[in-house]
Amino acid sequence: MAGQLGLDPPTMTLCNGGPAAELEQALLNSEAVAKCFNCSISTSAIAFVVYCSACLVSLNLTELQKKWEGFLEQLRDLHSAEGSGSKVPDPVLLFVLVPALPKR
């Protein structure tokens, strides 16, 4: 799957709250797509490539990484509680800094 933005599905606008909120919404959107195929990004993803504005500082990137790790942990806990979770390796997380992003 590719191209998931931090868009609020009903309005198709970027969610408020900055990069961490946008990442969380993009992950929620990705999980919704994965559920359509009876899987989860927490157990099926190999890698996540997150495109970020080059103007983000390392503190923001650390916040984004923590948000990503927390989201995946919540999904894994949910799947374990449902009895459908299995231990899988953590996917690779790659931040790519770009000069401009869509919808900005």
User: Helix, strand, or coil here: 67?
Assistant: helix
With respect to residue 46, please indicate whether it lies within any of the assigned structural domains: yes
With respect to residue 1, please indicate whether it lies within any of the assigned structural domains: no
β-pair partners for 52: 97
Domain tally for the chain? Answer: 1
pLDDT at 19: 87
Q: What is the pLDDT of residues 29-52, one digit of tens each?
A: 999 999 999 988 888 888 989 888
pLDDT at 11: 92
**Whose structure tokens read 């009876």?**
38
With respect to residue 50, please indicate whether it lies within any of the assigned structural domains: yes
With respect to residue 64, please indicate whether it lies within any of the assigned structural domains: yes
With respect to residue 2, please indicate whether it lies within any of the assigned structural domains: no
With respect to residue 19, please indicate whether it lies within any of the assigned structural domains: yes
With respect to residue 77, please indicate whether it lies within any of the assigned structural domains: yes
Mean pLDDT, residues 45-66 taken together:
85
Q: Which carries the bigger pLDDT value, residue 101 or residue 34?
A: 34
**Whose structure tokens read 């997150």?**
50
pLDDT at 104: 60
Q: Cβ distance 101 to 55 under 8 Å?
A: no
* Cβ atoms < 10 Å from Cβ of 36: 7
With respect to residue 48, please indicate whether it lies within any of the assigned structural domains: yes
Mean pLDDT, residues 59-71 taken together:
87
pLDDT surpasses 70 at 74: yes
pLDDT at 85: 52
- Range of the structural domain that residue 85 is part of: 7-98
